[in-house]
Structure 1
Amino acid sequence: MRIKEIVSSIEQLAPVSYQESYDNSGLIVGDYNKEVSGVLICLDVIETVVEEAISKGVNLIIAHHPIVFKGLKRFNGNNYVERTLMLAIKNDIAIYAAHTNIDSVRGGVSERICDLIGLKNKKILSPVKDDLKKLVSFVPAEHADKVKEALFSAGAGSIGNYDSCSFSAEGTGSFKAGENTNPFVGEKGKIHFENEHRIETIFPKHLKGKVIGALLDSHPYEEVAYDIYPIENSNFEAGFGMIGDLEISENSVDFLKRIKKIFRSGCVRHTKIIKKELKKVAVCGGSGSFLLQKALSAKADIFITGDFKYHEFFDAEGKIIIADIGHYESEQFTRDIFYEIVTKKFPNFAVHISEINSNPINYL
């Protein structure tokens, strides 16, 4: 097993292209072609986690938070970042992180929060924009189904809970093959007219290479004509935060006590209880205050996240309950997501969840 195989299994769910511009997801330390002796999964890479990896005999750490966010000019061991990296490099331990990319996909951090709470009718709270592309190609009629199947297998044609979505229209294509060609139909030097299907389908931009590869491999023509258009539709399968409904309404105070227990929070900081009963719940793992207006627009009764600042609580303006359960607390189950991905793909491989509690915040 090589690092690139483990990484690929994670990035099938959470492509690195979905990370934010400030982020540093990906392989931070190590060689993609290095053989893996075992995996240690954690939320934060700190010195004690690297020591744990050494003691367990594993050489790949998968973390949610990247240990490196800014450029490092020195490795003198003057802070925990330098010391952690030095220890990992000295012991040939690779470090991989999936951060905002796994925050912003279905099956990622926010959906795990929804599932733990028991929400139904789940939707992305702030869908990704400028992510979808439209592919148009022209295929001989008798080969149209084969090409569409290849495109769908590559990930094209998914809209919400529907897949294999496309549009076809019949028409006549024309071309004249040159001397240095080997035309599938027609003759060199003569204009040929062919009954073709215009096939249209969509795909998220991170799948562009895979989708175009599938088109070229399945298309019978020597030279394949195709167009790719940017489209302005939001991708409702990716984005930050989620919103859903409780199966039955719950008393607000009882609900707050329940989430405190589920997420093992030292405390839940919240705004005034303005509603006796709750039904619609918005969530975001980590620092989610930037989504408050989205939660308000979606008419959520409560917004659960972490890292709300003092003055940001005023922005609820008596219209929604804000519940800050803590950054670590809201993201701790990300480790389970990584564990499930890797063990499902590689069931006979040594995968460990770190026993280190890396939460830097303590409560009296």
Structure 2
Amino acid sequence: MKIKEIIGYLESIAPPALQESYDNSGLLVGNKGKKAKGAIICLDSTEEVIDEAIEKGCNLVIAHHPIIFKGLKRLTGNNYIERTVLKAIKNDIAIYAIHTNLDNVLENGVNSKIAALLNLEKTSVLAPKQNLKKLEITVPVDNSDGVRKALYEAGAGWSGREEEVSYASLGVRYNNGDGVPGLKIEFHFPSNATGSILGCLTELQSEIDLSYNIHAIENQQTGVGSGLVGELEEAMEEMDFLKMLKKNMDAGVVKYTALQDKKIKRVALCGGSGGFLLPAAKAAGADIFITADYKYHEYFDADGDLIIADIGHYESEQFTKQLLFDILSDKFPNFALHLTEVNTNPVNYL
């Protein structure tokens, strides 16, 4: 099995087109055409993780956070990023990151894993993405399968819960008065896939007689977006819930705002840095909003409407490793997968 088969399966669950514009998910180091010998799954790819991959005979590291987030201008080994990348290259180890695209899917996503740990029910995306576009393309019938496949690979056809979704209707294409059977195919796609789709269309037009239109639409992607909201089966006392949160999330500390003197039933959450979702949590009627990386003055924004609970960035996403391990183990049961034994959390607690 080649590395690209593993990547392809992960991207069928969390398409790269769903990542945020600032992100750098995808294959960062290595050749996806190489045979996969084994994989280490981690939250952060570090020098120690690369050493672990070498020791265990793995040539693929699958991380949640991209080790290369901003452009590298040099590789001199002067910092941990450059040293990690250099060590991976020297030892022919590929590094793949699956970050905000995994954050932004409801099913098998980062936030759904947290929701499961907290026993939440009736879950939905807290802030669904609205930046959908629609592609309408008309092609000769004989070319339709190839065109559809190419556009799927470019990021078209994501419905929010399923990939590779399209709709087709048969008609007649007229060119200079001559009519030939044609197929009109429609796809939805996230706006940040526009560039790759336009590139694909340009390439297709050099080979096939086709026409297309792209429209912005107002539909929400119900299964795609930031954060999650759900409910407990039975409401809990505030302090009981906070203790359960700390235990189940294996958090060293939970920082929280003033208690509201009411039971907790509706819970909003976002793994990682989710403070930007506080207005959405309030609008959703949440009793508590769980996330990480809150700054001192931002805690005042709770303003008596709910409890803000900061459990730490690493703590909120640490179970993503197990999520990815389970996803890949189910698909590739005979492949050598390893959860990293390296603690990559840079924060310690007394």
**TM superposition score category, shorter chain reference:** 0.7 to 0.9
Mapping of residues 164-243 of structure 1, within 5 Å: 175=174, 202=188, 204=190, 206=193, 227-243=213-229
Give me the whole-angstrom Cα distance separating, in 1, the residues matched to 2:137 and 2:86: 50
Helix, strand or coil at the partner of 2:71: coil
CA contact (8 A) 1:328 1:359 kept: yes
CA contact (8 A) 1:39 1:352 kept: yes
Give me the whole-angstrom Cα distance separating, in 2, the residues matched to 1:199 and 1:354: 44
Please name the residue that 1:112 is paired with.
113
Please name the residue that 2:94 is paired with.
94
Do the aligned partners of residues 229 and 280 (structure 1) sit closer, same or farther apart at CA in structure 2, a change above 3 Å counting? same
CA contact (8 A) 2:131 2:190 kept: no
What displacement does 1:61 show?
Answer: 0.3
Give me the whole-angstrom Cα distance separating, in 1, the residues matched to 2:160 and 2:341: 40
Mapping of residues 131-142 of structure 1, within 5 Å: 131-133=132-134, 135=136
Deviations 1:42-89 (A, max 9, x none): 001111111111110101000011111222333332221122122211
Do the aligned partners of residues 71 and 164 (structure 1) sit closer, same or farther apart at CA in structure 2, a change above 3 Å counting? closer
CA contact (8 A) 1:176 1:192 kept: yes
Report the residue type matching 1:79 in the other structure: N
CA contact (8 A) 2:136 2:184 kept: no
Helix, strand or coil at the partner of 2:13: coil
Report the residue type matching 1:245 in the other structure: E
What displacement does 1:341 show?
Answer: 2.5
Q: Does 1:128 align with 2:129?
A: yes
CA contact (8 A) 2:314 2:345 kept: yes
Report the residue type matching 1:48 in the other structure: E
What displacement does 1:313 show?
Answer: 0.2
Deviations 1:166-219 (A, max 9, x none): 698x9x857467xxxxxxxxxxxx76699x99886745565996xx99xx9xxx
Number of equivalences: 334
> Which consecutive segments of 4 or more residues in structure 1 shift more than 4 A?
136-140, 154-161, 163-168, 190-194, 196-209, 222-228
Question: Which residue of 289, 294, 297 corresponds with 1:311?
Answer: 297
Report the residue type matching 2:277 in the other structure: L
Helix, strand or coil at the partner of 1:58: coil
Please name the residue that 1:77 is paired with.
77
CA contact (8 A) 1:132 1:234 kept: no
What displacement does 1:342 show?
Answer: 1.9
Helix, strand or coil at the partner of 1:12: helix
CA contact (8 A) 1:137 1:227 kept: no
Deviations 1:147-174 (A, max 9, x none): 9xx99xx78594779x989698x9x857
Higher Cα radius of gyration: 1
What displacement does 1:92 show?
Answer: 1.1
Q: Does 1:265 align with 2:251?
A: yes
Deviations 1:310-338 (A, max 9, x none): 11100110111001011001001111222
Instruction: Using structure 2 for the length normalisation, give the TM-score.
Output: 0.83
Question: Which residue of 234, 242, 245 corresponds with 1:248?
Answer: 234
Please name the residue that 1:23 is paired with.
23
Please name the residue that 2:340 is paired with.
354
CA contact (8 A) 1:285 1:330 kept: yes
Gaps of 5+ in 2: none
Q: Does 1:334 align with 2:320?
A: yes
Please name the residue that 1:9 is paired with.
9
Question: Which residue of 275, 278, 293 corresponds with 2:279?
Answer: 293
Mapping of residues 55-70 of structure 1, within 5 Å: 55-70=55-70
Report the residue type matching 2:93 in the other structure: I
Helix, strand or coil at the partner of 1:81: helix
Helix, strand or coil at the partner of 2:281: helix
Do the aligned partners of residues 63 and 332 (structure 1) sit closer, same or farther apart at CA in structure 2, a change above 3 Å counting? same
Give me the whole-angstrom Cα distance separating, in 1, the residues matched to 2:265 and 2:20: 31
What displacement does 1:116 show?
Answer: 1.3
CA contact (8 A) 1:139 1:199 kept: no
Mapping of residues 41-56 of structure 1, within 5 Å: 41-56=41-56
Give me the whole-angstrom Cα distance separating, in 1, the residues matched to 2:259 and 2:230: 20
Instruction: Using structure 1 for the length normalisation, give the TM-score.
Output: 0.80
Gaps of 5+ in 1: 141-145, 178-189, 217-221
CA contact (8 A) 1:167 1:200 kept: yes
Give me the whole-angstrom Cα distance separating, in 1, the residues matched to 2:69 and 2:183: 49
